[in-house]
């Protein structure tokens, strides 16, 4: 796998697969989302872009908290492009907590 992670910044070779375990904590303790909640990854060019400009949107399964980005998710994206992303937790009551923000760069591929 050709990817790198530096803090919350991710670089992924276009068309590669990324599996990323999402760790959640609350008050310094490991936290597991409750049934009826959701964890979501969203990526776009700029934070100020409207929601309809989201380039990639993925639901993260509650039972594994494993983000999977598949080859087809990035294959058509331009190389050497940097995006912003966030990961949000929405509880069953509808309260939203954006707990990770970072940059996501698509790097070059040969084929």
Tokens 């039972």, located at residue? 63
Mean pLDDT of the chain: 94
CATH number at residue 82: 2.60.40.10
Q: Look at residue 72 in the predicted model and tell me its pLDDT.
A: 97
pLDDT digits (tens, 9 = 90+) for 51-72: 999 999 999 999 999 999 999 9
Q: Look at residue 51 in the predicted model and tell me its pLDDT.
A: 93
Here the contacts of 75-80 (C-beta below 8 Å, separation 24 or greater) are: 75/14, 75/15, 77/14, 77/106, 78/106, 79/14, 79/106, 79/107, 79/108, 79/109, 80/105, 80/106, 80/107, 80/108
Q: Is the pLDDT of residue 1 over 70?
A: no
Burial 8-20 (b: 16+ CB within 10 A, else e): eebebbbbbbbeb
Q: What is the pTM of this model?
A: 0.91
Residue range(s) defining the domain that contains residue 46: 3-107
Q: How confident is the model at residue 110 (pLDDT cuts 50, 70, 90)?
A: confident
- In this structure, the chain runs to a length of 111
pLDDT digits (tens, 9 = 90+) for 63-101: 999 999 999 999 999 999 999 999 999 999 999 999 999
Number of domains making up the chain: 1
């Amino acid at each position: 796998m050709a990817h790198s992670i530096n803090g919350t910044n991710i670089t992924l070779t276009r068309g590669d697969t990324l599996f990323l375990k999402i760790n959640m904590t609350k008050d310094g303790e490991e936290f597991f989302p409750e049934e009826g909640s959701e964890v979501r990854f969203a990526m776009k060019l700029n934070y100020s872009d409207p929601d309809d400009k989201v380039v990639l949107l993925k639901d993260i399964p509650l039972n594994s908290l494993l983000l999977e980005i598949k080859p087809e998710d990035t294959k058509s994206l331009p190389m050497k492009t940097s995006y912003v992303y966030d990961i949000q937790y929405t509880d069953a009551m509808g309260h939203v907590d954006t707990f990770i923000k970072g940059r996501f760069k698509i790097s070059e591929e040969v084929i």
